Amino acid sequence: MKIFGELVRKFWRGEIKDNTDLDKLAYEIKEKFGFKENDMAFIRDHIRIAMGLDPRGRTEFEDEINLIKKSKEILKPVVAKIDEVCKYCPEDEQSCKDTCKYEAHVYRRNEGPIIVNDKCLSCGECVTSCDFGALADKIEFIPLIDWLQDKDTDVYATVAPAIVGQFGNKVSMGQLRTAFKILGFKDMIEVALFADIITIKEAFEFNNLVKTEEDFFLTSCCCPVWFNLTKKNYPKIFEHMSPSISPMIASGRILKKLYKDAKVVFISPCIAKKSEVKEPDLKGAIDFVISFPELKEIFEVLEIKLEELPPENKDQASFGGRVYARTGGVSFSVKTVVNRIEPRRLIKLKSKKVDGVKDCRDILEKLSKGEDINANFIEGMGCDGGCVGGPRTNIEVEKATTLVNEFGEDSLIMTPFDNLNVMKILKQLGINKIEEIIENKKITQLFTRE
């Protein structure tokens, strides 16, 4: 983050114009943080990753500035490995070794982890467990700076429900909205609002698909780790998963439908969201993803003092949409809508909520073996505690969960079905009655994965 901070400061002021300036910055970082001459390759690679580029080992800076200036997206893989670093890590202290037992493996004949990208879930556990900086997720802010400093480009920040309290107990969502506008964003919008829309869609899907005691339904709402774990490893179970897009993708698609030429940036608690936006059938909805720690560093470097800002408050989402941030939030929200659509339904929604990759895998194993789990709606979250436990959060899970619940209770809107903002958006999209969210093919396509 400190290397990223130095880079942000220079780029924001327009002080980096060519690769000579980049090299000068690398040596300034070396002196400021006490690195040695043989650390220069490490510093250069972390500068590249902080710019959203792949590491290149010992190579000098060449065309990095041109690549960033032309960049409209950050390419896969999201998680990058910096060579040569792992040799300094004693084998008995390799914290990455047991972090990901399924998708990334450590071989004795190699230095450090081997990440198999077609299997990787981008959960980010390996990145946060590495103390040597050998693994890092690419940062997507530097290519965004030109848009933010261009008054003719409208850039919207859509923020994950887990953002509540991540920047201090005394920092309100209204103050965050003001801070985003200072940065150059057109507005800040709660992704919880789009969670309300997707909740309604999944509630109708549940009603249509779960007709007997044997039927079951997997939500696809939130977590790309849960979605990809199911899709890649349990194809038969995947047939029971909702085709709905995530609220994040919905936010980008809808805003770009309503506002021509708009750019949309998602503010995220996790690394997997950086990977999700690059999926072929979802590409184009979200332009860049910025994590909570990255945003915190940006605010600090640019001296935006959040606690001193005047708040600009808006009540955009329901209690149900806001608690998507924690385990059980999706189940609660969908159930409230199912009960409103069909109050006397014979087959009631019975939910099973699991979090953490291990428990997600366990429930999928049970389903694949035909074991009775006493539930017909299964919600999986890849991180312990849900999104509030993501690898790119600023505060502890318990505290974050409490703050999310409190913020949800502050909403004047109890359920997604009561959210007038939802109907306003749907009417702008051409929907006049709520049932059209699954009946209107044109609209359904907007909210569905291919």
Query: Which pLDDT score is estimated for 394?
Result: 98
Give CA–CA dist 109/112, Å, rounded: 9
Domain boundary among 142, 159, 184: 142
Give CA–CA dist 150/215, Å, rounded: 52
Please state the length of the chain. 450
Query: Which pLDDT score is estimated for 103?
Result: 55
Same domain, 278 and 337: yes
Query: Which pLDDT score is estimated for 419?
Result: 96
Query: Which pLDDT score is estimated for 111?
Result: 65
Domain boundary among 91, 114, 142: 142
Domain boundary among 142, 166, 200: 142
User: Which of 157, 159, 179 has the alpha carbon at shortest distance from 404?
Assistant: 159
Same domain, 153 and 169: yes
Same domain, 212 and 115: no
Give CA–CA dist 34/39, Å, rounded: 10
Same domain, 93 and 158: no
Query: Which pLDDT score is estimated for 260?
Result: 93
Same domain, 36 and 150: no
Give the number of domains in the chain: 2
Same domain, 251 and 262: yes
Same domain, 114 and 257: no
Dihedral angle sign, alpha carbons of residues 400, 402, 405, 409? negative
Give CA–CA dist 273/386, Å, rounded: 14
| Measured CA angle at 195 (ends 194, 200), to 5 deg | 100
Query: Which pLDDT score is estimated for 442?
Result: 83
**Distant-in-sequence contacts of 235-242, Cβ < 8 A, 24+ apart:** 236/368, 237/364, 237/367, 237/368, 240/209, 240/216, 240/367, 241/217, 242/202, 242/205, 242/217, 242/218
User: Which of 373, 334, 383, 365 has the alpha carbon at shortest distance from 121?
Assistant: 383
Cis bond upstream, residue 243 (ω within 30): no
User: Which of 271, 31, 233, 296 has the alpha carbon at shortest distance from 130?
Assistant: 271
Could you tell me the mean pLDDT of each successive run of 10 residues in the chain, 450 residues long?
94 95 95 92 95 90 91 88 81 72 52 73 84 89 97 97 96 98 98 97 95 95 93 95 97 97 97 96 97 98 98 95 98 96 92 96 97 97 97 98 97 94 94 88 88
Q: Is 168 left (phi over 0), alpha (psi -120 to 50) or beta?
A: left
User: Which of 298, 44, 361 has the alpha carbon at shortest distance from 35?
Assistant: 44
Same domain, 96 and 159: no
Residues 212-247: tens digit of each pLDDT? 999 999 999 889 999 999 999 999 999 999 999 999
Query: Which pLDDT score is estimated for 129?
Result: 84
Same domain, 388 and 441: yes
Give CA–CA dist 126/211, Å, rounded: 41
* Domain coverage including residue 74: 2-142
According to DSSP, the residues that pair with 355 across neighbouring strands are: 381
Same domain, 390 and 252: yes
Same domain, 324 and 441: yes
What pTM, to 2 d.p., does this model score?
Answer: 0.95
Same domain, 149 and 93: no
Query: Which pLDDT score is estimated for 109?
Result: 45
